[in-house]
Structure 1
Amino acid sequence: MMNLRYGLPLALSAALLSGCSDSDVAEVKEWMKTTEASTEVSVEPISEPTTFIPFAYGVRDEIDPFDPNKLLAELARQAAATDNPLKPDTTRRKEFLETFPLDGMTMVGTMNKGGTAWGLIRIDRSVYQVKAGQRLGQNFGLVTGVADTAISVKETVQDAGGEWVERITKLELQESKETTK
């Protein structure tokens, strides 16, 4: 029984493989030889690439186009020539609080002295008093008002085109995070 189970498929596969003889292979080989002999190869030649001549940039001889000082000098020249009424007085003596940036200042309270509202500003570990009309910040800031919850500041800055514009900012009261026992 075992011999029939393996013997029958083996006999069938041998019969199928015997049908694949070399009779058609000779015809195919002959056809390939004649086709190869009659076919002409036509490949267009590739054109020569254009030669690239790099530009030699003499850094020492030329002006650096990316120099930020060049842009700053041009903006300063335009600002000096403008008759914009918002242009700040750059010749006046700066007040002490104008040496600090506005984002480094924190409003910590208010007080009323002699009928004038004063705002209390902390810079680093020191507290300073400001009132309306005083200057502060590095952008020609002018205190326009002191309220219980905020100090209003009008800054004069240059926009992207070099024109002087006003910007209204507020220093808002920062609540203390300390708790009493």
Structure 2
Amino acid sequence: MNKYLLCLCILTLGACSAANEDLHEWMQNTSQQAKSKPIKSKQTEINIQPNYNPPALPQMNIFDPARLKAGLQGTNAPDLNRPRQILENYSLNELHYVGLIKAAGKAPSAFIAVDGHVYTVKLGNYLGQNYGHITAITPDEIVISELVEDSYSNWSSRRASLPLQAADSTSAKTSSRN
């Protein structure tokens, strides 16, 4: 029985060695095929372009305290200390001039609709987001004078109008005036 066991072990070890020889032979063939002459690469030309220099802009600091102070003390600067009125929270495109009422001996008042509410306004009331105040009320339109700040902290006045609107139309006209 020992002879059979010994023969079985020798045959098993002999069978394993043949498989490894095939593996080693394949590895050598593959590595020889992989070793080839290096391919010469073409040299590509690199086009060096000059650096882009953007045009020089004025070095204006929008947070410069002197600039901000000058803007607030400008001749046309709005009064920032006055209490804001409710219609200043809306842009002119959101406001609808829907009617006018005149009483004998009194200045006319207008009705402005926004967000499902109707407000009564008169000459001098403020509305819109650009410090606009009402300068004239006519049956066809409300004339508004707005103050707009430019990039140099100068305030300029511009005329805007809110035309009388039908129930389905929406528009506001604006024109600049320095």
How would you bin the TM-score normalised by the shorter chain? 0.5 to 0.7
Write the distance in 1 (CA, Å) between the matches of 2:93 and 2:63.
26
Q: Is the 8 A contact 2:85 2:127 kept in 1?
A: yes
**Deviations for 1:29-72, whole angstroms, at most 9, x for unmatched residues?**
xxxxxxxxxxxxxxxxx8x8699xxxxxxxxxxxxxxxxxx965
Unpaired segments ≥5 residues, structure 1 = 1-45, 52-69
Partner of 1:130: 121
Q: Figure out how many residues of one structure are paired with residues of the other and give that number.
A: 115
Root-mean-square deviation (CA), in Å? Answer: 3.1
Query: Pick from 133, 138, 148: which aligns with 1:147?
Result: 138
Partner of 2:57: none
Runs (4+) off by over 6 Å: none
Partner of 2:98: 108
Q: C-alpha displacement at 1:156, in angstroms?
A: 0.5
Q: Is the 8 A contact 2:70 2:153 kept in 1?
A: no
Partner of 1:92: 82
Query: Which deviates the most, 89-98 or 127-136?
Result: 89-98
Q: CA, structure 1 residues 176+84, in 2 after alignment: closer, same or farther (shift >3 Å)?
A: same
Write the distance in 1 (CA, Å) between the matches of 2:141 and 2:130.
19
TM-score, normalising length: structure 1: 0.54
Query: Pick from 154, 170, 178: which aligns with 1:163?
Result: 154
TM-score, normalising length: structure 2: 0.55
- DSSP-derived class of the 2:134 partner: strand
Q: CA, structure 1 residues 50+111, in 2 after alignment: closer, same or farther (shift >3 Å)?
A: closer
Q: Is the 8 A contact 2:136 2:143 kept in 1?
A: yes
Write the distance in 1 (CA, Å) between the matches of 2:61 and 2:116.
37
Q: CA, structure 1 residues 72+104, in 2 after alignment: closer, same or farther (shift >3 Å)?
A: farther
- Counterpart residue identity of residue 68, structure 2: A
- DSSP-derived class of the 2:63 partner: helix
Q: CA, structure 1 residues 163+122, in 2 after alignment: closer, same or farther (shift >3 Å)?
A: same
Unpaired segments ≥5 residues, structure 2 = 1-42, 49-59, 169-178
Q: C-alpha displacement at 1:116, in angstroms?
A: 2.2
